[in-house]
Chains A and B, each alone.
Chain A
Amino acid sequence: MADLCRSSTFFSDQNLCNADIIGSSEARARIEVAVLNFLKILNSPSPAISDLPLISRRWSNSRVNRGLLTEVSCIFLSHSFCTRSLMRPNAAKAFVRVWKVVEMCFQILVQEKRVTQRELFYKLLCSSPQYFTCQLQVNRTIQDVVALLRCSRYSLGIMASSRGAVTGRLLLQAFISETVDCSACGSSGHAISGDMNLLERMVMKTDARYIIVVEKHAIFQRLAEDRVFNQIPSILITAKGYPDIATRFLLYRMSRAFPDLPILALVDWNPAGLAILCTFKFGSIGMGLEAYRYACNVKWLGLRGDDLQLIPEESLIPLKPRDLQIAKSLKSSEILEENYRNELEVMVQSGRRAEIEALYFRGYNFLGKYIAKKIVQANYV
């Protein structure tokens, strides 16, 4: 596999490592190839237990791709490998865990079924108790398998979920189903499917002028209920916190389908809010190989430092220790642009944060007016 990669440096984006969305038969084929390769080397004149080459998900293998002709920068993983090896005593178990998960996934694919991560944990706990003791190990091993076989977890038979919701001036049609008008979906909006295959084939139509990414469920619900998307012709999308892949994928598809629509983020003024914005904007190495791809040109609408004059001093609340950890992580990322970096610095120095709800000090109507004014003034970075 490594040889194949090195030999085909034909395209400029060959450095980008993808997790493909593939069907069950191809996933099984990839597993079979991995097993056969392993056996081949084991059976060769100079037999050896080959190491497993996994795309490294360490910081050191992450690169920043700064868009040249586009404004989209993203983080991606290059071809640096880390290995799982049976020969290193401390890492031997990790090596075996990868094969155990591969085996389990193969069985599930053969049965044409799907499994949740927790179910997978219990199956592995029972079949190989000496190798699996907790859910985190299973999650990490799944990421290893994704990095080994270069396909998404969903392709391996693991159920997909999404927390995302979308509302506003968007018509969605999934394959053969009827068209969904997201503006008529009530205050919860239309739930985003976890099925990436389905999302990939979705046909989208809009007459909106903006896409607004909302960090929090409560704000999304409020804006949906007040039908802000009619006052400012827009699509609202939320992941109710840190985004899952499906929500990011849908946003990415929207950014490709409607390239003229600015994508604006409405987040709390704190490191976590900024981290959420950055995940939508640049991608994430987390959740395995698949998560970094769907970077979009997201701009920061609010809350920003200069909005703090709109709210009273008492509305600012102290930063939590976790916020400081997140800030530290963000600061060390080279992808963070200067003005974002400056805002982050102000947050940390002040030791305070502000929630979007703080704008309610100025009355119920204020949030809608605030958003409209900022958009009209193109006050986003």
Chain B
Amino acid sequence: MEGKRSSSQRSDLLRKIREFTRSILDDLSIGKSPVVLIDRFRNYCTDNTGNCCCSSDLSKGKEILTLQRECHARRLDVLLRVLLIVQQLLQENRHGSKRDIYYMHPSVFSDQSVVDRAINDICILLQCSRHNLNVVSVGKGLVMGWLRFLEAGKKFDCINGPNTAYPVPVHVEEVKDIVSVAQYILVVEKESVFQRLANDKFCNKNRCIVITVSTYFVQPSVKINFLTMFFCQGRGYPDIPTRRFLRLLVEKLHLHVYCLVDCDPYGFDILTTYRFGSMQMAYDAKFLRVPEIEWLGAFPSDSEKYGLPEPCLLPLTAEDPELLSDKRKTEAILHRCYLQQELLHWRLELELMLQRGVKFEIEALSVHSLSFLSENYIPSKIQVAEGV
């Protein structure tokens, strides 16, 4: 889909929008109540027999929207209004964010989630990706290493500074002329790990491409007074442009992809997001997931193997007032169908994590030596993975 010329896609979509609207009008004109069918998609379920068809990209049933039900009527109303906005974006070849769209009819769109669902529905109906509708989000990805590409005519010469972070382009469909002498791609969950690798000049000795998402932010502490600010780190769930970019690199360069996440349920969930896709974007999983990605680390078994000191092993939370506790989250992940039949190695490690009741972060590996990650851990894991 990335290769097609954008203008033909726009005209295709505009045509589909006209056809869809026309079909509704035709129904209304003959006194028939329109019915809109929206395919349902999912990446995983809790089926453990191996008979579910989650791994195929087929839809798993349809949602039937009719005007007979008030909630459906409202949903269709929102859908049509968003569709009108999308049509204008496409006609004028402009871009807008989901938030921008919300504010165009705030009285009808009672909440952002209502708009988000309409956009997903439209993507499913028109059988396209969100960026095809000219709906964009901010880019959070960072890349460094042995890579060169063009984006909308601008040169990104990462090879010039292989230890410098470059932003991953937001309009991935504009990325061309990808050239690389890398031997593999390394995806790291957190910006701090990326920083560590950049600081150690990892890409000087290792010919690879490193990708992450920015996770740092400044948080004011209001307890004392707003003037106290701390530099914090959030979770490394990848954004859509980063996932598309990674997929594009894999398609063009045919390199192995390795993923380095924290040894905790969220790290693992992030790994599965890269590999299988996220539930919200399940309809587009085919173009967002990277099934080739391999779990490089950190494994629960690494804590023994690399002699991680005890204090670094933090307990898995059993209760959490706001979110799912670590234990509940791990159990939920273990129920996912894709861990039942395949990826037994992943399953075993996850079960070990639950059994031991501890988790640890990648940074803990630097305790004995700051260069341990760059000089020992990652290279030796890669060697094993590449079968060298």
Contacts and interface: CB of A to CB of B under 8 A. Distances in A.
Interface stretch (A13-21, A228-236, A323-331, A340-348): A323-331
A23 interface: no
B376 interface: no
A326 B220 contact: yes
Contacts of B95: 222, 225
Nearest to B214: A163
B192 A116 contact: yes
Nearest to B232: A135
Interface stretch (B19-27, B100-108, B180-188, B243-251): B100-108
B169 interface: yes
A351 interface: no
Contact of B106 (A59, A286, A314, A326): A314
A90 B119 CA distance: 56
A358 B231 CA distance: 29
Contact of A285 (B228, B230, B367): B228
A241 B218 contact: yes
Contacts of B221: 286
A305 interface: no
B103 A329 contact: no
A186 B96 contact: no
Interface in A342-381: 355, 357-361, 364
Interface residues of B, number: 58
Contacts of A122: 312, 361, 363-364, 366-367
A360 B96 contact: yes
A44 interface: no
Given A119-B196, A159-B195, A314 B107 contact: yes
Residue among B92, B191, B222 with the most chain A CB within 10 A? B222
B283 to A, nearest CB: 23
Contacts of B136: 221
Interface stretch (A24-32, A107-115, A204-212, A256-264): A107-115
Nearest to B225: A329
A62 B227 CA distance: 11
Interface in A30-77: 57, 59, 62, 75
Nearest to A287: B229
Given A163-B216, A163-B217, A188-B139, A360 B104 contact: yes
A243 B199 contact: no
B152 interface: yes
A203 interface: no
Nearest to B314: A125
A325 B219 CA distance: 14
A161 B99 contact: no
Contact of B311 (A62, A129, A359): A129
Residue among B103, B104, B137, B151 with the most chain A CB within 10 A? B103
A291 interface: yes
B216 A161 contact: yes
Contact of B226 (A275, A291, A357): A275
B311 A188 contact: no
A125 B228 contact: no
B196 A116 contact: yes
A357 B102 contact: yes
A185 interface: yes
A151 to B, nearest CB: 17
Contacts of B231: 117, 139, 161, 244, 287
Interface string A107-141: 01001011111110111011001000000100100
A322 interface: yes
A221 B170 contact: yes
A119 B370 contact: yes
A364 B171 CA distance: 19
A135 B152 CA distance: 42
Residue among B89, B228, B361 with the most chain A CB within 10 A? B228
Contact of B233 (A118, A221, A329, A360): A118
Nearest to A185: B154
B165 interface: yes
A242 interface: yes
A325 B312 contact: no
A121 B166 CA distance: 28
A166 interface: no
B99 A357 contact: yes
Contacts of B167: 186, 188, 191
B311 A125 contact: yes
Interface string B103-120: 110110000000000000
A222 B100 CA distance: 10
A187 interface: yes
A318 interface: no
B323 interface: no
A186 B170 CA distance: 9
A92 interface: no
A47 to B, nearest CB: 34
B199 A242 contact: no
Contact of A286 (B101, B165, B227): B227
A217 B138 contact: yes
Contacts of A222: 95, 97, 100
Nearest to A226: B94
B315 interface: no
Given A286-B227, A286-B228, A364-B89, 11 more contacts: A59-B225, A113-B199, A116-B192, A129-B311, A221-B170, A222-B95, A239-B218, A287-B229, A326-B222, A357-B102, A364-B92
Interface of B: 89, 92, 94-97, 99-104, 106-107, 136-139, 151-152, 154, 165-167, 169-171, 191-192, 195-196, 199, 214, 216-222, 225-231, 233, 309, 311-312, 361, 363-364, 366-367, 370-371
**A-B complex: 7 closest residue pairs judged by Cβ atoms:** A286-B229, A188-B167, A242-B218, A329-B226, A314-B106, A286-B228, A314-B107
23 contacts: A57-B228, A75-B227, A111-B370, A118-B192, A119-B366, A122-B364, A125-B311, A125-B312, A159-B195, A188-B167, A217-B138, A221-B139, A244-B218, A275-B226, A287-B228, A312-B107, A315-B106, A326-B220, A326-B222, A330-B226, A359-B103, A361-B104, A364-B89
